[in-house]
Structure formats: C-alpha cells, structure tokens
C-alpha cells in the first residue's frame, strides 16, 4: 500500500473569533446608556475572557481530534494489512490441506500396488520352488536335458529379482510420501498457529479502533456543540479537492493504455454498482447544517462485502485519507475518476491496472465511521457526477 501521508494534513489553524465577537458586539450594544465607563469596561473584559475560553476549548478539541485521527489512520492501515496476511494464511492452509489429501490418495494407491506385487511375488517364488524340485527329480529319474531346466530356473530368477526391485522402489516411494506428509503436517501446524496469533492481534486492533472511534465521536460532538461542524465538513471537502487536483497534476499515464478501452463517457447508464446495497445517502442530498451537499452516495453493505471496479482503469490512489479512511481512486481516462471510501481492506496498490468488475477492496467502516458502508463517487475532473445516472441495477 503506497504511503501518501503527505496528503493527510491536519486541520489548518483558523480563527473562531468571529462568532464570539459578533455575540460580544450585541451584548455591548445592549449594555449602553446608563452604564459608567468602568461598568462597560468590566463587561467588555468579561466577554473577552469568555471568548478566549471558548477559543481555547475549540482549539483543544481540534488538537485532540487530529491526534486521534492520526492514531486511527495508523490503526486502520495496520488492521487492513493484518487482514491481508490472514487471508494469505488461509489460502496457504487450504493449499497445504489439499496437498495432504492428494498425498494420502497417492499413498493408498501405492500401498494397494505394493500388496499386489507382494502377492504376485509370493506365488512366483512358490512356483519357482516347485518347478525346481520337480525338474530335479525328473533330471535324476528321466535324465531330461539339464540345459532346459537351467534356462527355466534362470527365467524365474530374473523375474523374481525384477519384482523385488519394483517392491523396493514402491517402498522408497512410500517412505518419500511419509516424509512429505510429515513436512506438510508440520507446515500446516505452523500456519494454524500463526493464524491464531494474527486473529488475536486483529481482535486487539478492533478493540483499539472501537475505543478510538468512540472518542472521536465524542470529540466531534463537542466540536458540533461549539458551532464549527460546518467548518470541519468544509475542510474535509477542501482536502479531497486538493487530492484530486494533485492526482491530476501528477498523472503520468500513457494515452495508449486507454486507447484499447471504450471511452468511459460511452458507458453512462450501463455501469454496475461497485457493491450491492441500498443507498443510505443520495447524490445532492444536504448534509448536516444544510449548506453542503453529498458529492457521492453512501451504499449500505455488510463488512467484508466485495468492492468492485465499475470500469477498467488505473489505480492512482490506494491509501488512508482523512474522513474517508482506506480509499481507492481509479483513473478511467479522459478526466473521469471513481472513488471508493470507508473500506475495510485494500486489495490493490497504487499503479495497478484493473478491469471492470475486478475486486479492489472490501466494505468497512474506516475513517472513524460508526456504521459500515461504502462511499462512492464519480468525477469528471473536479466536478462530482451523479452515480445513479451512470450505474444501473
């Protein structure tokens, strides 16, 4: 996962003096005639003191929120990496179990063949013994040709030795299988142990993340009560705009790579949604405060649900980003991009090329979210487009 930590900027220092100052002016105008200059000075000093207290509380809440956002970023990235390792362990364990079953089947075949060879050898030895004894008597009594008897005995001796060699080879094969089987069992045991260890760590990560998220929720509530929630939302949108602008300026994708794909604009109305689920938030709906609108949609989906690329393109961002958590952005050419946020895990890296319908992530609640859902956007340059007009189903 490419580190784009430079894109994660703390909330810029802003002045919150305006709103308390407006309040102070109203109060000052209220306490006008009839008061002495000393009374007015005292009143003004008290108001200024209260304004300073409010500013101090807001600054403290912001600083603490930013600290927790950074901790959350590190935690969610580590958790995603742990999930990837767990997935790899599960695949390896399944592979080892399959190899073990194949070896068991092969072992049974060899054991059956060994039994047949032993039985044939036993009959052959008995026949050779009986033949040799009868021929010896015939040689003594009937004076038959000794050369004929010798050739017959040599023939049986040759086959006996050949069969003995085959039995030795089968035994060696079985010894090899037993060694491989022991090795696979040992490897599987180690993988199972590692899997349990990582599951334990993952549980700790989830607990830590839940604690951090609760604190962030409380701090955001505190910020809301201080009247700066709108500013926070605006700051999030500004940072996302900066990210898109930076990606546009840094883009170094060859045009030839897009020439083999249909123009993204021609796919309007025929794209599949990146995840199945109902829309919790629709494009253009007003956010809290009423002055900002949703620039994408929020899709309700269970944790771990597959997130698929809506069309072929190049991944230009795959990392953690403030407010959106683990985020993937795909460049589809001609200025079109799609964005997938709040993921649990990222399955692709920056620079990877993906096809339509290819799995790129899993749904989660990263970015300090309380509920699990996928945030999805389509943009043409810096302009957000209504995904409902592009995706069907």
User: Between vectors from CA 69 to CA 63 and to CA 71, what angle results, nearest 5°?
Assistant: 105
Q: For residue 391, what pLDDT is reported? A: 95
Domain 1-9+228-393 has CATH 3.40.50.1370: no
* Topology at the third CATH level for domain 17-227: Helix Hairpins (1.10.287)
Query: 58-62, 255-259, 348-352: which has the minimum mean pLDDT?
Result: 255-259
Alpha-carbon span 153 to 151, nearest angstrom: 5
- The domain limits of the chain are 1-9+228-393, 17-227
Provide mean pLDDT across the span 10-39: 48
pTM: 0.66
Same fold, 1-9+228-393 and 17-227: no
Confidence category of residue 314, pLDDT binned at 50, 70, 90 = very high
Which pLDDT score is estimated for 1? 56
| pLDDT in the model for residue 282 | 92
Nearest-angstrom CA–CA distance, 303 and 63: 30
Confidence of residue 11 (pLDDT cuts 50, 70, 90): very low
What are the φ and ψ backbone dihedral angles of 366, each rounded to 5 degrees?
-65, 160
Mean pLDDT of 209-232: 67
Q: Which residue has the higher pLDDT, 227 or 350?
A: 350
Question: What value does the mean pLDDT take over residues 197-214?
Answer: 79
In tens, the pLDDT along 79-118 reads 888 888 888 888 888 888 888 888 888 888 878 877 877 7
- Highest-confidence range of 15-19, 185-189, 252-256, 317-321, by mean pLDDT? 317-321
Which residue carries 């807001």 as its tokens? 58
């Amino acid at each position: 996962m490419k580190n784009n930590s430079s894109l994660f900027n703390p909330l810029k220092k802003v002045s919150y003096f305006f709103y308390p100052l407006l309040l102070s002016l109203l109060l000052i105008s209220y306490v006008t005639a009839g008061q002495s200059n000393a009374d007015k000075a005292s009143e003004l000093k008290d108001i200024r003191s209260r304004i300073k207290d409010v500013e101090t509380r807001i600054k403290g809440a912001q600083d603490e929120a930013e600290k927790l956002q950074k901790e959350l970023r590190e935690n969610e990235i580590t958790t995603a990496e742990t999930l990837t390792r767990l997935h790899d362990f599960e695949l390896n364990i399944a592979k080892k179990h399959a190899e073990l079953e194949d070896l068991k089947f092969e072992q049974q075949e060899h054991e059956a063949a060994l039994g047949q060879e032993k039985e044939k050898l036993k009959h052959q030895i008995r026949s050779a013994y009986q033949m040799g004894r009868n021929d010896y008597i015939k040689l003594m009594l009937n004076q038959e040709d000794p050369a004929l008897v010798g050739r017959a005995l040599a023939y049986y001796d040759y086959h006996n030795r050949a069969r003995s060699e085959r039995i030795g080879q089968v035994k060696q094969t079985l010894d090899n299988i037993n060694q491989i089987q022991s090795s696979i069992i040992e490897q599987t045991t180690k993988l199972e142990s590692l899997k349990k260890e990582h599951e334990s760590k993952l549980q700790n990560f989830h607990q830590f993340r839940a604690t951090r998220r609760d604190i962030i929720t409380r701090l955001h509530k505190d910020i809301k009560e201080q009247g700066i929630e709108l500013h926070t939302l605006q700051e999030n949108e500004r940072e996302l705009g900066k990210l898109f602008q930076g990606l546009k300026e840094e883009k170094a994708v060859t045009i030839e790579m897009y020439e083999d794909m249909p123009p993204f604009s021609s796919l309007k109305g025929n794209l599949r949604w990146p995840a199945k689920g109902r829309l919790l938030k629709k494009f253009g709906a007003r956010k809290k405060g009423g002055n900002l609108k949703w620039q994408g949609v929020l899709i309700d989906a269970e944790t771990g649900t597959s997130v698929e690329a809506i069309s072929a393109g190049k991944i230009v961002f795959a990392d953690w980003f403030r407010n959106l958590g683990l985020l993937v952005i795909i460049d589809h050419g001609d200025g079109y991009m799609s964005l997938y946020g709040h993921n649990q895990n990222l399955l692709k890296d920056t620079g990877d090329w993906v096809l339509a319908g290819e799995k790129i992530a899993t749904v989660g609640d990263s970015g300090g979210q309380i509920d699990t859902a996928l945030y999805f956007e389509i943009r043409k340059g810096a302009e957000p487009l209504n995904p409902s007009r592009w995706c069907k189903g």
